[in-house]
Structures are given as C-alpha cells and as structure tokens.
Structure 1
Amino acid sequence: MACINNGDFEEAREQFEAILERDDTADYVHYGLAMLHSMTNQAEGSLHHLQRAIELNPHNRILARSDVDFRQMADDPRFTELLYPEAM
C-alpha cells in the first residue's frame, strides 16, 4: 500500500500481481487491484477485481461502499449493481 500512497501505481500493480501469481484467492489483493484500477480510471479492471474480491469475501462489498478510493466508479451503474445487489 505504500506504493499507492506514494503515487507509484505501476509498482503497486506489479506487487499485487506477483502475490496473485502465488495465491489467486487472496481477496485483499483483488480488492487492492480494484481500488488501484479505480484510481487510474480503468473501470473494467476495477469491476473485474472487485467482483472477484467480493466472491472470495462478501465483506469486501461493505468495505467498498464507503471506500473513497472508488469515487471514480460512483457514477457507473455496474459498480452500483455490484455493491447494492439487493436494490436491483
């Protein structure tokens, strides 16, 4: 996370992907990649990784609802559907 805080998004992405190569079930890594993609305006990547993070740990849905790092995604209806399936 230090890389993200320092704005070194490429280094953060490389670190997350290295972890996923060892363990594709690391929900926190999928969540981190979803957040990173959101911060860099890559909606498809954000949605993909957030969906996987939620599949692996449903609590991630609750976390993402109030995570300011997803503000870029707030107007995307697919993001709303993913976070609030009960409203659909």
Structure 2
Amino acid sequence: MPAIRPSSDLRNKYTEISDFCHKYDEPVYITKNGQGDLAVMSIETYEKLVGKFELYKLLDEGFDAIEKKKVRPFKNALSDIEKDL
C-alpha cells in the first residue's frame, strides 16, 4: 500500500518521511490540497530506478538492432578490433 502524506508533512515531519523512504525503498506520495502532487524517494531508490530505465533502453536498442539485422557475430567484431591494435 503506498504511503500518502500531505505536503505539510514535508516541513513538519521530514525526518519521518526520510526514514520511511530509506527503510522501505519506495516513494512517498505527497498531496497538495488533497490531490497528488509529488513522489519523494531516497537517492538510492532513485538511482536504481534510473539504472533500470537505462538498462531497458539498451535492451530495446539491442532488440531493435537484431530486428533490423544490424548485428554480426561476436567473433567477427573481435577480429576487427584485434586488427586495429
């Protein structure tokens, strides 16, 4: 179940929100006037999330290259690299 807090808690209960984010590795949703406004998370959780997005992007590029036949066997690529040395 997501943690939902009013925006006033950022000012009044910052340490409590920070402790929660570090303990559970999940965001806290902040509301403003009863509506969703922000998601707050620890730096570690944010970096993991960004890392996953970067990995998904690279995997997507790889699958796209395979689909468009823009790949070649590893041995051939390695041979070309060794020739340049």
TM over 0.5: no
TM-score, normalisation: structure 2: 0.29
TM-score, reference length from structure 1: 0.29
Bigger CA radius of gyration? 2
Q: Which has the larger share of strand? A: 2
Q: Decide which structure has greater helix share.
A: 1
